Amino acid sequence: MGVFGGLGLFLYGIHIMGEGLQKAAGKRLRRILEVLTNSPLKGILVGLGVTAIIQSSSATTVMLVGFVDAGLLTLRQAVGVILGANIGTTVTAQVVALDLGALALPAIGLGFVLFFFSRGAQWRDLGQVVLGFGLLFLGMETMSTYLYPLRDNSFFLGLMTSMSYKPFLAVLVGMVVTGIIQSSSATTGMVIALAGAGLLDLPAAVGLVLGSNIGTTATAMLASVGTSLNARRAALVHFLFNVTGVLLFLPFLDQFQNLIRLTSVSLNHQVANAHTLFNVINTIIFIPFLEHLERLVKHLLPGEELVLERGLKYIDNREVTRLPGNIALGQVTKEIVRMGELAKDSLEDAVACLFQEDCRRAELVEQKEEVIDELEMEITSFLATLSQQGLGPDASRRLTGLLHAVNDLERVGDHACELARLVTTKLDRSRVFSPEAVADLKVLYKLTTDCLAGCIEALRNHDLELARKVVAWEKDADEMQQAYRDKHIKRLNEGICMPGAGVIYLDVISNLGRVIDHANNVAHMVLDDF
């Protein structure tokens, strides 16, 4: 029980330390992952750095699976980050091997003061990191203390001895334990604690560490269930990379252990170095074969999948002064249409969460919203620069309309995010809509998507007839929303709907109505443009 409690402290310490670091740098880390991965080497360095900060390769790979699922990263970009994440996660083992147990209680005390009494968010995040650091080492000290008496237990010693002579057994044990607790850092920490208590020798420890690298892939594999094809491929890359690496190392374990013995006289440091060197050497081996690994994964999971493109596609802010006004406006219209399609996809993801009662797509909505926001800023900057180029009256009027269209379509993305939040709240609080309410929402949602798709198509093709239809549909939508609100109040009075669900239902109707309003604005812009 003492070992169990120490393990709990150790795992909790890792958890809150990583959580604090993610709070302090989470958005920046996500941006780095999204942007700075355009080459395998950059991807490896980014994966290493991000994982070293958040102290979890599982968290990095799960984040990657989410990005690939949303189309924000390609499979090729993800492969390099996965390799780097495996190296970055070994930082925890290096810290644990330093044997800083004497700092555990002072760190807990300091972290407590910073976390509970600081007013600034940055100081609280720092306090959480320091508190997690202290709990991590207190857990290590506790495990080591309670493991020491096992030196006299014949069964336990026999098991440890068996692993010394049977590397496959050690790999299997390390894999299973890590698969259960979903943290290779935690497994390596326990191995270091066992080694420090004199219960493990280097051969058994190396086998356990190699097994932990296979077990840690379970988290990403689970996270990929139900996601897109490329997201599942990214998880499979992680699995194949680690499994193949272990299989390559097994025939050369004696030579690898001799190399590890040269790195330190301390067994604790040897265990940590084994974890680091395995992942570094494995990455170096795989770098020339990344394209082959990508092709293998695509062969094992065949199929084609569209990938979302980030950034501007049809315009370039550096070229704005070189393009004639009408051509520039035509190109920027294509870019706005592309942004509108992304906003429509985001809305579809949000409402799919509602009808399928699945929160996983809500995260995709948030990620797509970040791309929409980026596009809005870049398109607005392009139009602002273009407005200074001495355009004629007609072109100036059209430019003003496009600026409004950009803002309206960006607001659609905001409403999609709000809908995703409402759905998450509904599911978290077990709120249930009545069958009548769901049926009404489906009708209103169909009208919403028709309006949104119609205004985007009207903008794309300068279709005045379609724009007039959107304007007419918007008037129908106003009447529909009022009718649905009246029906909802009646259901509340009759006890068919619960008040908690009713508030969320009204907010959903309101957000869908606002999306229709923005679609109507774009349609009017098309009509005013001609």
pLDDT tens digit sequence for 442-479: 899 899 999 999 999 999 998 899 999 999 998 888 88
Name the amino acid, one letter, at 513: G
Name the amino acid, one letter, at 319: E
Q: What is the mean pLDDT of residues 510-522?
A: 92
Q: What is the mean pLDDT of residues 356-380?
A: 79
Point out the least confidently predicted range of 26-35, 191-200, 219-228.
Answer: 26-35
520, pLDDT greater than 90: yes
Point out the least confidently predicted range of 46-50, 167-171, 409-413.
Answer: 46-50
| 309: nearest Cα among 73, 81, 66, 78 | 73
Q: Rounded to the nearest 5 degrees, what angle is found at the Cα of 101, between the Cα atoms of 99 and 107?
A: 125
Query: What is the predicted pLDDT for the residue at 120?
Result: 78
Tokens of 63: 């984040």
Structure-token match 């968290």, residue found: 59
Q: For residue 171, count other CB atoms closer than 10 A to its CB.
A: 26
Query: What is the predicted pLDDT for the residue at 412?
Result: 93
CA 333 to chain centre: 31
Point out the least confidently predicted range of 29-38, 198-207, 297-306, 312-321.
Answer: 29-38
The top-scoring range by mean pLDDT among 115-129, 188-202, 512-526 is 512-526
Contact between residue 129 and residue 118 where contact means Cβ atoms under 8 Å apart: no
Q: What CA–CA distance (Å, rounded) separates 326 from 265?
A: 73
Query: What is the predicted pLDDT for the residue at 451?
Result: 93
Tokens of 348: 């579809």
Tell me which DSSP letter residue 37 carries: -
55, pLDDT greater than 70: no
Query: What is the predicted pLDDT for the residue at 157?
Result: 59
Q: Which domains does the chain have, with CATH numbers?
A: 2-300 (no CATH), 321-528 (1.20.58.220)
267-277 exposure pattern, b = at least 16 Cβ within 10 A, e = fewer: bbbbbbbbbbb
Comparing 158 with 205, the larger pLDDT belongs to 205
67, pLDDT greater than 70: no
pLDDT tens by residue, 258-295: 999 898 888 888 888 888 899 899 989 888 888 888 88
**183: phi then psi, degrees, rounded to nearest 5:** -160, 110
31, pLDDT greater than 90: no
Contact between residue 361 and residue 463 where contact means Cβ atoms under 8 Å apart: no
Tokens of 384: 């602002």
32 falls in which pLDDT band (50, 70, 90)?
A: low
Structure-token match 């929409």, residue found: 372
Tokens of 79: 């492969």
Contact between residue 53 and residue 29 where contact means Cβ atoms under 8 Å apart: yes
Query: What is the predicted pLDDT for the residue at 57?
Result: 67
Tokens of 55: 């102290």
307, pLDDT greater than 60: no
Query: What is the predicted pLDDT for the residue at 519?
Result: 94
482, pLDDT greater than 60: yes
338 falls in which pLDDT band (50, 70, 90)?
A: very high
Q: For residue 357, count other CB atoms closer than 10 A to its CB.
A: 11
Query: What is the predicted pLDDT for the residue at 478?
Result: 86
34 falls in which pLDDT band (50, 70, 90)?
A: low
Q: What CA–CA distance (Å, rounded) separates 207 from 167?
A: 5
Query: What is the predicted pLDDT for the residue at 218?
Result: 80
Comparing 433 with 296, the larger pLDDT belongs to 296
Q: What is the mean pLDDT of residues 134-160?
A: 69
Tell me which DSSP letter residue 183 carries: -
Q: Rounded to the nearest 5 degrees, what angle is found at the Cα of 49, between the Cα atoms of 46 and 54?
A: 120
Q: What CA–CA distance (Å, rounded) separates 208 from 186?
A: 12
Comparing 401 with 98, the larger pLDDT belongs to 401
229 falls in which pLDDT band (50, 70, 90)?
A: confident
Contact between residue 164 and residue 205 where contact means Cβ atoms under 8 Å apart: no
Q: What is the mean pLDDT of residues 483-508?
A: 77
Query: What is the predicted pLDDT for the residue at 471?
Result: 92
Query: What is the predicted pLDDT for the residue at 469?
Result: 93
Query: What is the predicted pLDDT for the residue at 516?
Result: 93
Q: What CA–CA distance (Å, rounded) separates 434 from 445?
A: 16
530, pLDDT greater than 90: no
51, pLDDT greater than 80: no
Query: What is the predicted pLDDT for the residue at 264?
Result: 86
Point out the least confidently predicted range of 28-37, 156-165, 272-281, 479-488.
Answer: 28-37
430 falls in which pLDDT band (50, 70, 90)?
A: low
What's the whole-model pTM score?
Answer: 0.57
488, pLDDT greater than 70: yes
Query: What is the predicted pLDDT for the residue at 353?
Result: 75
Residues 6+ apart with CB under 8 A from 454: 466, 467, 469, 470, 473, 519, 523
182, pLDDT greater than 70: no
Comparing 243 with 63, the larger pLDDT belongs to 243
Comparing 182 with 251, the larger pLDDT belongs to 251
340, pLDDT greater than 80: yes
| 11: nearest Cα among 46, 47, 58, 49 | 58
